[in-house]
Every structure is written in structure tokens, then in C-alpha cells.
Structure 1
């Protein structure tokens, strides 16, 4: 069996990475840029090619208002023949009275075949309203049995911590159809180091189940990934149908100096078969100031395997293979 390996890290200084393989044969990549001031897309026919592909800016932050600061974690989705990007943005860099950022979630749409053609092709669909006017971010979507689902992280002022994970069905790609259902909150020791956080959800559907990975704790070396699991033939909006792993499924590897892996997404290798995990990671722990403003969270891509019981085995973060 051929072992697939990619340059590690693949793309430097790109956190919250999202890679989507489209039917046109291209891999599309977007992520948070270090200045948090715009959304860019790059594409290539191979994953290695993404490292050298020229990024195209398709949206820039506003001068003022709710989409004017700290543009975080864009994700590119293709839904019913149109392109959509979900992202989080704030009106200010100041913290609120609870000591938290003030992000809300937004959606932009492009109905051009080529999402990189022009900034003018992208239309703002506004804020994705959840019924809770609190800190929210890291939205992703997936489709199942003709329904579109939205999964995201949000603060509930009645629950300790920065964010919990929620799911809802969507009426269209920027409007929820159902009320939010909480799937997970920070509770285990490894989820509450530095900050009480559940964020960055990603979904993969295999072996009759949905596996929802997420990231927890502070964005330094404590950052780690957890996982929720649900059968694909039950009500996905019933939290009781989901089970939560008590231990992290992917975490720092001190032996190879890989720290804080997380905020992942999933794609497939060039062979069309091998499942890949995309994530960001640092190779040092001596961070000056707030880890959020340290630019060296690099994008990495690595294959993973499946256990005999049908669950994913993500292994350990791949060490850097170039200086």
C-alpha cells in the first residue's frame, strides 16, 4: 500500500484551515489570515500545489460595523449549485463585560461557476441569526437526507465557559429553520485548560455514522481535538442520540514538538479514496503575548485510518519534514 505524505507544514501562517475538493478537479483552500482583515481563496489540482498557488482576495472587512474587525475562520461550501462562505466577525477588538470577543457569524454567496473570478461576484447574506445574541463562530454545514444542517460554536450566558457546540436544520444556507440544539459543552479536564472552549466543528460521514470533531481549551499547546458520534439513521437534532468521547482524539505531541493541533477540516487525497485531516499546529510553546496574535499556526494535512469498529484513528500530528 502506498503511504501518502505531504509537506509538513503545507501552508505557513494560515490558521483554521479549510480545504474542499470540488467536482471541477480543484482543491480550494481558505483560512484565517494573520491580519484577520479579509477572506482569500486559493486553488490547485493537487494539495501540494496549494502551497504555491496565488491567493485571491474575494471579500474585505468593512470600515466599521459588525463585519469590520477580526475576520475569523472562513469556510467554503458548495450548496445547490452556489458557493457560500461562512465566517465570524466582530465590530470591535475590545472584550465585552464577560471578557470575551464579540463575534457573530456571517454568510456570503457567489453564484458564479468560478468563486475566485471577482470580489464583485460575492453577495453578503448578512448575519446567521441563532436566536441567541452572544459570541458565536466557526460555522460549518453538511447535508443528509435532503436536509441542510448548520453546526457552530456559541456562548450561552447561563453556562460556564466561552463556547458550546450547537446544531440546527437550515431553511436556506443563511437562515436557520429550527432552534439550536446543544450537542456539547466544555466539561472534561482537557477541554478547560486556559479557557473553557468547544469550537471549530468539522463533520465527516463514514461507516453509517457522522463523526463531529471539535477543538477545546486555549489556543496554545493545550489545544486538542475531541469527537462526537451519531448514527446516520436517527434524529440528528436529538442531542441524546450523540455520544461524546471522554478523551481527546488528537493532541500535542511533545516528542516531535507539535503543539496545539486543532480547528480541523476533512478532505480526500488525490486518489479519491484516502481520507485526510487538515488542521493547524505550532512547533513551539514560547509564545509572546496572546496566542491568538501569534501568526505561526501553520496548515498541515495528513492521512488517517479507520479502526475495526468503524471509528477514525487520527494518530499523532506529523512532524515537520522541512525547515
Structure 2
């Protein structure tokens, strides 16, 4: 089969289209013929060599895909060859076929075309699992950084469905308009003093922050928390090391959590995928959440897709189509 390979860490140019051996589904696995693969920030980190796949996972980049069942491994029920599906992956998405534990494969939402569905599951699983973890609740205030990306576009809408007041940061007028169109109650440029704007807007701080920046925003994020606030770090675009004012957290009874979806045990990921299918897919089907705008590339153009994501100009989701 054709797949994108990386011989050595580097820029987008290291992504090469090669012929590799087809994966074979083992017991409890499904083989998926890939229709579309989502491109995520974590893929860029893997390409430059700082986010390797967990032990036993495919070394091919790609954390989510949509497609059709090509083969059913032993001990798997409920699937037949040809069934449409979406899958959460530990790796292997940038390819024509990928083997996946059956618990991480579900049918796409009703009314969503199979290509678009290729960019839904990883972001939904990330946001839903972290919202559950910190107990984001009706009436609370929620802040998401990078509101115009794949994670942010979903997080804004999902938090609104939970009854939260939503704040989003983004980097351009076009992206801020996108956040507002999705339902953000406040959209503020991260190029300005976003922490002051949030303080003025809330008068008390933010209950939950979903952060992809890490070290760069740690001080400002913890300062923005309301009493009993919760900061969840899901990315390290701004570095991994920073000082933390524990006295600030203690005085306000705040918490800081850092989570990753990719390295979780299969059983945990299966439970998250089932939760998404049960709670989020009906929201898509009913039009209460809509898919993010898409930029589509052929599999052979993976380098262009990475360059597009790195440029900071993309709004919504980027997809690769084998």
C-alpha cells in the first residue's frame, strides 16, 4: 500500500510517499481502507521527532481517519467488510490502510459525509474526555486557546451545548469572526492583552481553560482562573517548562492537569470513543454542532498539508485523501 514515511526528523519536506507492507489485523482488530485522515498538531510534533508513537503503535503518522472496513480480525463482532467507519488511532493514518483495535472504531455520525468524518473523532475525543475529567458544567465559563483550529472549533460548540459561557482566543480578525460564528461569547486576539480582556469580561475569572500552549501561557492561564478553576493542558506548542505559582493555586483552590489521548490504554480509548458516539454524534446529526471548515489535500501532498497547518493561516480542519 502507499503511505507517508519519514526517514529522519525535519521540516515538511521529509514526508515522503512510499510503498510499504499492508497491515494485517490481529485478534480484536479491524482493517480500515482509509478515505480521509485528519491532520493534527501532534502530527507536526511527530514529524520533527519530539512526539514518538507509543510502544507497539505504527510509526506512520496519523491519529484519526475515516474509511470502510476492509477486513475483520478474530474475536470481533458487529462489523462487516464495506461498513463505513471512523477510527481513533495511535498512529498509521497517513496511509491507504490501517489496523485498529475494534473498540476505537465507530460508525460516522448520521448526515456527515465520509470524508468530513475523517476529521471529527480525534478532536471530539480530546475535548469530551477533558471536559468530563474536569467536570465542565452548565453556567460555568470556559476558555479555549486556538479557537479557530480543529480542537477549538469543536470545543466552542460543545461547551455551548453544555451550557457554558465560551471565550476563545485566535490570531486574526478572520479567525475571531469564525469563533463568534460558532457561538463564542467573547473572541479575543492572543496578539493583544487577552488576559485583561477576559478579566474585564468575566469579572471573576474562568472556570475551565483548555490550553494547547503549555509553558508560554502557564502564568497567564493560572492568573485567569476563577476560584475552584481548572486548567487542562493538552499541548506544548509554547514549551514544556515554566514556573508555577503554587500559592496562587492554593489560595483559589485551583488545579492544573496535563493529559494526552494517544498513549492511553486501549480500554480507556474505547470508552472515550463510545462516549463520543453516544453523546456527540447525535449533536452532529441534529445540527447542534457542525463540522469545521476543511482544507483537503491528496496523500501525496502531505508536506503541503503540514506547511499549511504550520503557517497559522488555516481555519478549521485539514484532511489527507488517499
State the TM-score, normalizing by the size of structure 1.
0.28
Higher helix fraction: Structure 1 or Structure 2?
A: 2
Of structures 1 and 2, the one with the larger relative CO (CA 8 A, separation 6+) is: 2
Decide which structure has the larger Cα Rg and report it: 2
Higher strand fraction: Structure 1 or Structure 2?
A: 1
State the TM-score, normalizing by the size of structure 2.
0.28
